[in-house]
Amino acid sequence: MYVRLDDLEGRVFSFERLFRGLLNGDPMEAFRGNYNQRDKMREVRSIIASYPELRASVRNLTSFRQGAPVDLDFVVTGPDLLELAKFTDTLRDRVAKELPGLVDVDSTLRMDKPNLLAHIDRQRAAALGVDVREIADTLRIAVGGDDRVSRYYDSQADDAYDVELRLRGVDRGDPRDISQLYVRTDNPRAVNAANRTTPAPEPTLIPGLGHESGAFPLTRLDNVVSFEETYSPSRIDRLDRLRMAAVRANLAPGYALAEQARLVQEIAVDMGLPPGYSTRVVGGARELQNTLDEFLWTCALSFVCMYIVLAAQYEHLVHPLTILISLPIAIPFGLFSLWLGGESLNLYSALGILVLFGMVKKASILQVDHINQLRAEGLPRGEAIMQGNRNRLRPILMTAVAFVAGMFPLLIATGPGAEERRSIAVLVVGGQSLSLLLTLLAVPVIYSLLDDLSEFVVRRRATSGATPPSTAILGANPAPV
């Protein structure tokens, strides 16, 4: 069932609604009756929960598909369908019971397709002279149907029609009715012995269809066939040419997808996988994990590239560390901003961390570069640090305020898709604002500590008799005499 919500402009706060409400004398119109998609999905789930016999899920149909339209797609692969169905059903029940962070929990492998198996007693069929092919053809035509047994030409319409042959639904819907069908045999005496329950003393004959005798004796189908009603899967899915069954669920508000995937994996391991079976996470959860892993590599390579460029520009090995150590300080403030703004760590906010790195690094470069210039002019380190912070406070604040103002339209956007893009603005604006004060205090302290460490290394090498490295490469910049 597809449900379409009202247009976004009529159910969220916007300045257009606020302006229209002010014109109509109702300034609270923009704040009344607002809701989002998650609120309605939660209401629908509460309604469905009152019908425990239903297996239903509330899903968001997005244009960007990575597998099934669910948040978590946990796949179990193995050779046996019955074992897969048993394992995934147990896993589904445990996940639904033990993990409140997952909703709409369901499994894909369902043994709900009814089958009617015909078991042929081959020894009895051979004794009665019944050919196995005769049994198969009788069941195929009577139950399955034959779509072209003949053709009928209508002279009035000047057209030909295929003649189909099949029992009526009332005659083929019950195994007891199907068992009363007759098949041909070549052994009349054996047929008389088998049909003891029938009142006719002689075998049933079909005139004109016999061999040399001109007739075929018949025997009932239940003399050579026994029926069994079973169930099988309506569809069989495969992954990497292995049979698979999946436990699928959506994420409840306030929970992390990576954490829930890990908990499902722990439950599967605790249940004990049979030999030859394996599990994996596919779909959006796998893409998110791959994105986070690649993002960590991106951050590591960005640190390496920044260090190489800064070391070449400063011709120094320690000052780039002073700038780069200040970057991890901004990460907790960025994550805290996401939590404070009710946003999640996704692809957009992950890119916002890289943007935040650039802003924090820029402020550190302004401080360290000016401090080095003052020390080169002859100021002691302490005075150079204090004066450098005073001189660079204004440009740092100007660039930070200008950057936050530039992100503000993205922060208050209310159009379609603004919820996804807002996370990068929340992280950058909050992270930049909260980490600004700490960065202004932390960079001078880190600069002083690393400078003391470099001077200690230089003195240690000098007292040991080794040739001290150039102070232009390791240590403080030399003051002019």
Q: Which amino acid is at 368?
A: V
Q: Is 82 left (phi over 0), alpha (psi -120 to 50) or beta?
A: alpha
The secondary structure of 133-164, three-state, reads HHHHHHHHHHHHCEEEEEEEEECCCCEEEEEE
Return the pLDDT at 339.
85
Return the pLDDT at 216.
60
**Which residues lie across from 358 on neighbouring strands?**
none
Return the pLDDT at 266.
92
Return the pLDDT at 422.
82
Cα angle 389-429-256, degrees, rounded to a multiple of 5:
125
CB 172 within 8 A of CB 227: no
Return the pLDDT at 213.
45
CATH of 288-463, one of 2.40.128.20, 1.20.1640.10, 1.10.760.10, 3.10.310.10: 1.20.1640.10
- Ranges of the chain with pLDDT below 50: 197-203, 205-214, 468-481
Separation CA 22–CA 39 (nearest Å): 27
CB 404 within 8 A of CB 325: no
Return the pLDDT at 203.
45
- Six-digit token pair at 84? 């897969």
- Six-digit token pair at 440? 């202004």
Q: Most distant CA pair in the chain: distance in Å?
A: 134
| Per-residue pLDDT reduced to its tens digit, 305-342 | 989 998 888 888 888 888 888 888 888 888 888 888 87
| Per-residue pLDDT reduced to its tens digit, 60-82 | 776 555 567 788 889 999 999 88
CATH of 71-112+234-281, one of 3.30.70.1440, 3.30.70.980, 1.10.10.10, 3.40.220.10: 3.30.70.1440
Nearest to 86 by CA among 56, 107, 117, 116: 107
Separation CA 160–CA 154 (nearest Å): 6
CB 184 within 8 A of CB 130: yes
Return the pLDDT at 119.
93
CATH of 115-231, one of 3.30.2090.10, 3.10.50.30, 1.10.10.10, 3.30.70.360: 3.30.2090.10
The secondary structure of 246-315, three-state, reads EEEEEECCCCCHHHHHHHHHHHHHHHCCCCCCEEEEECHHHHHHHHHHHHHHHHHHHHHHHHHHHHHHHC
Q: Where are the domains of the chain?
A: 71-112+234-281, 115-231, 288-463
